[in-house]
Structures are given as C-alpha cells and as structure tokens.
Amino acid sequence: MVEWWAEGYREGNHIATRASDRYAQLMARSLVVLLLFIGAGCLFGQDQTPSKPKQFIYVLRLVARLYDEQAWSKEDQAAVEQHFNRLKEAADRGQVILAGRTAESLDKTFGIVVFEAKDQQAASEFMNGDPAVVAGLMTAELHPFSVSLFRKTP
C-alpha cells in the first residue's frame, strides 16, 4: 500500500501534486513566520517579572583615628547614629537581612551588613551611601554573598 501511494504521488495527479506542494510551501512559510515571532518574543518580551534581588555583604572597619574612644567628636557620634538609623530603616523595609559588629576593642572590631540589592551597582550605591562611610569614619568593602542557613525564631 505504501508503495502504491508513493508511486501514485510520483506519477499521479499533477494537480494534487501542485496543490500539495503549494500547501507545503504555505505551511513552511507559516512555520518560519511563527518561529520568527516566537524568537522575537524570547528576545524582546522576556519574562517581565523583576529579577530576584541578589545578596551582598559589606564589611565595615573604623578608621585608625577612632580607635581611641576619647577621639570621637559629637559629629562622629551623630554620623554613627545616622548609620544605625539608616540600617534599621532598611531592615524594616526588608532590604537589610542582618547587621552588627564584633564585640572587641575598637582597633579590632568590624561590622557587617548583609543585604539585598538588584545588582552590584545598586549594592555599591547602598554601601557608599552609608553615613559612617560618607563621613569617613569607616571604610567599607563589598562582596557578593549568599545566605545559606539561618536560625528559625524559637
């Protein structure tokens, strides 16, 4: 039966052959157009949902002149208070995951801020906008970070 159909197709009705050829060409063109639309959709209409924020950590260290508690001015203390309030507000918004400092002498202590930002540039802007960094009281170093585990609230 298959041979009969194949021979009939090769030798058979030219009208049917021409019609099926036109149909095949039309289907091929339609497929190409469809693939172009799908490709364009993939390139230009990618998922429009915002990407998940990335996590970062910055490490803060006091500048050497502040190792002595007697060296702190009222302006220095005000800047650190602004630093704390800014981090608290960011934590309340859900941007800061955690922030704190080590409980060591001022010459050894350092602080960390683990937070979320959309990308490296936004993370850098957040870190460089820290009032303690802006005031020159602390240096800051930014790193990509990933929180893997955290304690559940008891």
- The mean pLDDT value of the chain amounts to 82
pLDDT greater than 80 at residue 144: yes
State the Cα torsion 108-115-79-132 to the nearest 10°: 50
Residue 39, both tokens: 């490709």
- Domain residue ranges of the chain, discontinuous segments joined by +: 2-44, 54-144
Give the pLDDT confidence of 97-137 residue by residue, as tens digits: 999 999 999 999 999 999 999 999 999 999 999 999 999 99
Tokens of 142: 């930014």
Residue 52 confidence (pLDDT) above 90: no
* pLDDT computed for residue 5 by the predictor: 43
CATH, domain range 54-144: 3.30.70.1060
Q: What is the pLDDT of residue 49?
A: 61
Band of pLDDT at residue 19, cut at 50, 70 and 90? low
Q: Which two tokens stand for residue 44?
A: 């230009």
Cα Rg for the chain, rounded, in angstroms? 33
